Amino acid sequence: MPAHIIDGKTFAASVRGKVAKHVSQLREIHMTKPGLAVVLVGEDPASQVYVRSKGKQTVEVGMKSIEHKLDASTSEKVLLALIEKLNTDTEIHGILVQLPLPKHLDEDMIINSIDPAKDVDGFHISNVGLLGTGQKSMVPCTPLGCLMMLRDYHGSLSGMDAVVIGRSNIVGKPMAQLLLGDSCTVTLAHSRTKNLPEVIQRADIVVAAVGRPQMVIGDWIKPGATVIDVGINRIEKAGGGTRLVGDADFASCSSVAGAITPVPGGVGPMTIACLLANTVTACYRINGLEEPGEFTA
Ligand code: NAD
């Protein structure tokens, strides 16, 4: 039987709908409007597309959106001063510095200068530590979106065997922490993992966050497993042009898996939806209000 397709586009639309409801409650009952500031340094074309899309969706759910576009040669001092201004701006509840930053800027130092309460990307060292110790934190958007889809599809994840492929700070590591938090038995695989197909074979849940087009094939998947494909890779099309594919080979995996997220239309749309959800969560917390449990890990 072909795998159930987990429709991230529809799921993301429903998350945005819930976010919009919370935004109107915050505005009408609590007289506060959540605000998200996105800082883009330089002219990376992919980053420009993401920032545009984030700004548009932020406004669509009724939040305040501000964008700061800075020249690629911006100094650390100028960028830090801007972040400090946003940290103290009472109309801003979420701050996102679009990565990657130009080489001359110290990414870790810049991210760690964001007020952790406004760190809606969840990359600040305080939030990383809070997540790692199972405390209330801001959770990175992409893994949070993956977790939401897994919970929605499976209900409880307790006791399931999960393999996360990729150990990046923005996807793989926080994903592993979240699955551990939901009582999965977690293996974090990476480029040095031996016998990757065998490791994947025992997984009930496979999260692929590698950046290698169609690397995970159906033969590696346990029949009935759930495949969450985080990868976004652009490849040449047979007849010319390009197309987007994930880290999983959709054709072969979907004939073995029980459920799978497509690329595009799976994890991707959930990432921005979770950014909006994190901004709402931050707004509740900063105002000392009880936050909605539905968006948190
Ligand atoms: P990264 O390059 O920082 O990390 C890739 C990881 O894959 C590394 O930890 C590495 O050890 C591992 N790896 C590399 N080759 C491997 C191999 N042969 N076998 C096993 N592991 C291997 O990448 P990232 O930032 O985590 O992103 C991963 C993918 O997810 C990329 O395609 C990226 O575009 C995509 N992504 C998508 C979203 C989204 O919103 N859908 C968000 C972030 C990243």
Is residue 228 located within the same domain as residue 168? yes
Q: Letter for the amino acid at 116?
A: P
One domain for residues 146 and 112: no
Query: For residue 247, which atom of ligand 1 is closest to its CA?
Result: 32
The answer to whether residues 172 and 140 touch, using CB atoms and an 8 Å cutoff, is no
Supply the range of the domain harboring residue 45.
29-116
| Count of beta carbons in the 10 Å neighbourhood of residue 119 | 25
Is the CA virtual torsion 281, 145, 15, 33 positive or negative? Answer: positive
Give 291 Cα–ligand 1 centroid separation in angstroms. 31
β-sheet bridge partners, residue 243: 235
Among 139, 164, 165, 210, say which to mutate for ligand 1: greatest number of ligand atoms within 8 Å of CB. Answer: 210
Q: Are residues 259 and 162 in the same domain?
A: yes
| Same domain as 240, residue 204 | yes
Interatomic CA distance for residues 203 and 153, integer angstroms = 16
Helix axes of 45-60 and 8-28: crossing angle, nearest 10 degrees: 50
Question: How far apart are alpha carbons 222 and 226 in whole angstroms?
Answer: 9
Domains identified in the chain, total number: 2
Half-sphere exposure of 289 (CA within 13 A, CB side): 18
| 195 part of a folded domain | yes
Q: How far is the CA of 288 from the centre of ligand 1 (A)?
A: 36
Kindly tell me the burial class for residue 264, based on how many C-beta atoms sit within 10 Å of its own C-beta (0-12, 13-18, 19 or more): middle
User: What's the rounded Cα separation, in Å, for the pair 16 and 37?
Assistant: 18
CATH number, domain at 108?
3.40.50.10860
Give the model's pLDDT for residue 222.
98
The reported pLDDT for the residue numbered 255 is: 98
Please report, in tens digits, the pLDDT of each residue of the chain (297 residues total).
899 999 999 999 999 999 999 999 999 999 999 999 999 999 999 999 999 999 999 999 999 999 999 999 999 999 999 999 999 999 999 999 999 999 999 999 999 999 999 999 999 999 999 999 999 999 999 999 999 999 999 999 999 999 999 999 999 999 999 999 999 999 999 999 999 999 999 999 999 999 999 999 999 999 999 999 999 999 999 899 999 999 999 999 999 999 999 999 999 999 999 999 999 999 999 999 999 889 988
DSSP letter string over 190-208?
Answer: -TT-SSHHHHHHT-SEEEE
CATH classification of the domain holding 175: 3.40.50.720
Give pLDDT, residue 153.
98
**Ligand 1 pocket: which of 199, 230, 263, 270 to mutate (most atoms within 8 A of CB):** 230
- 3 within domain boundaries: no
In a domain, 6, yes or no: no
Domain match, 105 and 205 both = no
Let me know if 104 is exposed, middle or buried by CB neighbors in 10 A (0-12, 13-18, 19+).
exposed
Whether 34 is covered by a domain: the verdict is yes
Sign of CA dihedral 6, 172, 235, 42: positive
**What is the reported pTM?**
0.97
> Annotated active-site positions, please?
54, 98, 121
Q: What confidence tens digit (pLDDT) does each residue in 64-104 have?
A: 999 999 999 999 999 999 999 999 999 999 999 999 999 99
Is residue 69 within 6 Å of ligand 1 at its C-beta? Answer: no
Euclidean distance between CA atoms 30 and 13, whole angstroms: 25
Strands 233-236 and 242-245: antiparallel
Verify that 101 and 193 share a domain, yes or no: no
Q: Are both 179 and 257 inside the same structural domain?
A: yes
Q: Do residue 183 and residue 248 come from a single domain?
A: yes
Same domain, 74 and 150: no
Inside any domain, residue 129: no
Same domain? For 152 and 59 the reply is no
User: Given 3-state DSSP classes, what are the helix, strand and coil percentages for the chain, each rounded to the nearest 5?
Assistant: 45, 15, 40
Residues 245 and 174 in one domain: yes
* Same-domain pairing of 252 and 147: yes
